[in-house]
Amino acid sequence: MKNTSKILKSLGTGCLLAGTALSGSPADDARTVASLDTEFQAAVKANDVATIDRIVADDFVLVIGNGRFFDKAGQLDEARQKQTVYEHQEEEEGTQKVRVWGDTAAVTALLWIEGVRNGKPIDYRLWFSDIYVRTPAGWRYVFGQASLPLPKEPAK
């Protein structure tokens, strides 16, 4: 019985360590999620349906500052229809922060959006928070929250 208990403890410890190794260090996970979120922003800019579909979870929700929300189907439809042609859809340099808690990560950054949406010019910045969850298939973007467009800075 003692040997069985030791074996089970060893197996449990081994499984725990293997799971930790598979998940990577928090710093590695933060780099992975940072890169994935940057890839997502580039996919939105390019209206790249395949990349958006790969990164976004099936139960994804994006809530914007006025309370409207979009799901994965809406995100993919917008890209397919090219409702927005982007000149800029990038995180402002140095603003991206990633925080990791086990299998959940949050990305915050200041995003610059410029282009033409439904025939009208757009140019604004907003803050966003994107939540990623580790799945058996890798990290997936599950929830986003975007502020209303920020006020323009006065000319200097």
pLDDT in tens, 72-108: 999 999 999 999 999 999 999 999 999 999 999 999 9
Q: How far apart are CA 132 and CA 49, in angstroms?
A: 19
pTM exceeds cut of 0.85: no
Instruction: Map out the domains of the chain with their CATH numbers.
Output: 25-146 (3.10.450.50)
Q: How many CA atoms lie within 13 A of 26 on its CB side?
A: 8
Q: How distant, in Å, are the alpha carbons of 4, 5, 8, 11, 12 from that of 1? A: 5, 6, 11, 15, 16
At 139 the pLDDT is 98
Token digits of residue 148: 């209303």
Span 22-62, pLDDT tens digits: 568 999 999 999 999 999 999 999 999 999 999 999 999 99
Q: Which residues contact 67 (CB under 8 A, 6 or more apart)?
A: none
